[in-house]
Structure 1
Amino acid sequence: MTTAIFSDGKPMSEAEFLAIGTTPERIELFDGSLHVTPAATPLHQKISRRLANSFDPGANAVGLAVWEAVNVRLNPSRIPIPDIAITTEIDEREVIVDSSAVRLVCEIISPANAATDRVLKMHYYATGGIPWYLLVDPDARTVLLYRLAHDTYVEEAVATVGDVLHLTEPIVATIDPAELLPPV
């Protein structure tokens, strides 16, 4: 993680973060510090697209929307970019989606950032009040669904290749790891 301390000695503000603008890197704000990672691999993007496409019918049926790689404000010093977010109606022209509109976030684990997705982001999303967290682990060929219980996530369901995960909240959808994840 890269710490962004400016000449005034203070952590980066949301306004300073937004002033960075569009970059080829994925830049997230965690407690006033920047977390910078390169663009995702083609495999990561393929999984994200497949998953987002599979969520669209269920989201549309209940008036929700599916987004890939949007800025989600958990609080002014925490703005992660989940791989997928399912939201209520939002202003599509705004740079940031407030967490109050987010019903589910999904992270696809990259080997270099596994701890960030499994620990840090999971904690941040839970304290941000996002009801559902979906974690896809391509190496373990596993999809894990967590639901929010107070301010922490508890495991709701797990599916590996050979199993199917059925979502009933916030949308109805079926995830088949064998179809989602590439063969080994």
Structure 2
Amino acid sequence: MTEVLAMPQDVHSEPWTIDDVLAAPPKNGMRYELIEGRLVVSPVPPPPHQAAGKRLIRILDSAAPRELEASPETNLRVGADMFIPDVMVAKSEALFASGSMYVAPEDVLMVVEIISPGNSTFERAWKPQQYAKGGIPFYMEIELPAGPRVLASELRDGKYERVAEARAGETLKLAEPFPVSFDPGDLVGPRRSAG
């Protein structure tokens, strides 16, 4: 994903609200997030980033209990802010709530951010802090340029603490929020042919 862009001040003179963001004109391939009354706009991530998210969703869905589901790029409301994690694991009933435009943190068990070249400090540091403030129990970060490397963290005393880490060719094993294990190398590159 390329650097996050902030909307120029002259476009909207008052602080933005979640309702303003949801009512904004068509996104033309851009993602809109709301941070402390400011609209943050970023382009849709490049294909390798999207492929990693799609593959992770399949892995998480196959391991998750029926009441949970992995979802791509879903609006997440944390207080007056709104974020779009690359992947989230949430209660199925919250993801399919009629008329809902976002999921609340109490319905989310894990958020995942995929780090590509050009990600900003917003993506790498600030968003996880806000997820922690929202009380989301687990945070996973996938560093694509690192070959890839997956870092999994659990919320403890208001901060995320690393509980597992693995690189391509290794196995990442998690017991929570449900048992799952995978090789980070399976998230990248062309699909492998069988046999």
Same fold (TM over 0.5): yes
Secondary structure at 1:54 match in 2: helix
Match of residue 179, structure 2, among 130, 152, 172 = 172
Matched, 1:129 2:132: no
Secondary structure at 1:123 match in 2: helix
Matched, 1:81 2:79: no
The separation in 2 between residues aligned to 1:162 and 1:80, in whole angstroms, is 32
Q: CA deviation at 1:126?
A: 0.7
Q: Note the residue ranges of structure 1 that are not aligned, 5 or more in a row.
A: none
Which residue of 1 is the match for residue 108 of structure 2? 102
Q: Which structure 2 residues correspond to residues 23-62 of structure 1 after superposition, within 5 A?
A: 23=27, 24-59=29-64, 61-62=65-66
Which residue of 1 is the match for residue 23 of structure 2? 19
The separation in 2 between residues aligned to 1:117 and 1:133, in whole angstroms, is 13
Q: CA deviation at 1:27?
A: 0.9
What do the CA deviations read for 1:140-171 (whole angstroms, capped 9, x no partner)?
Answer: 12000011012111111110122111121112
Match of residue 148, structure 1, among 151, 155, 158 = 155
Q: Note the residue ranges of structure 2 that are not aligned, 5 or more in a row.
A: 191-195
The separation in 2 between residues aligned to 1:64 and 1:172, in whole angstroms, is 13
The separation in 2 between residues aligned to 1:68 and 1:11, in whole angstroms, is 27
Q: CA deviation at 1:21?
A: 5.1
Q: CA deviation at 1:8?
A: 8.6
Secondary structure at 2:103 match in 1: strand
Q: Which amino acid aligns with 2:85?
A: P
Whether contact under 8 Å (2:114, 2:144) holds in the other structure is yes
Which runs of at least 4 in structure 1 moved beyond 3 Å after TM superposition? 3-10
Whether contact under 8 Å (1:122, 1:133) holds in the other structure is yes
Which residue of 1 is the match for residue 69 of structure 2? 65
Q: Provide TM-score, normalisation by structure 1.
A: 0.90
Percent identity at matched positions?
32
Q: CA deviation at 1:175?
A: 2.2
What do the CA deviations read for 1:104-124 (whole angstroms, capped 9, x no partner)?
Answer: 000100222142222011111
What do the CA deviations read for 1:80-126 (whole angstroms, capped 9, x no partner)?
Answer: 10011101121164111111100000010022214222201111111
Q: Which has the higher contact order (CA 8 A, sep 6+)?
A: 2
Q: Provide TM-score, normalisation by structure 2.
A: 0.85
Are residues 169 and 20 of structure 1, via their aligned partners in 2, closer, same or farther at CA, if it must alter by over 3 Å? same
Whether contact under 8 Å (2:169, 2:185) holds in the other structure is yes
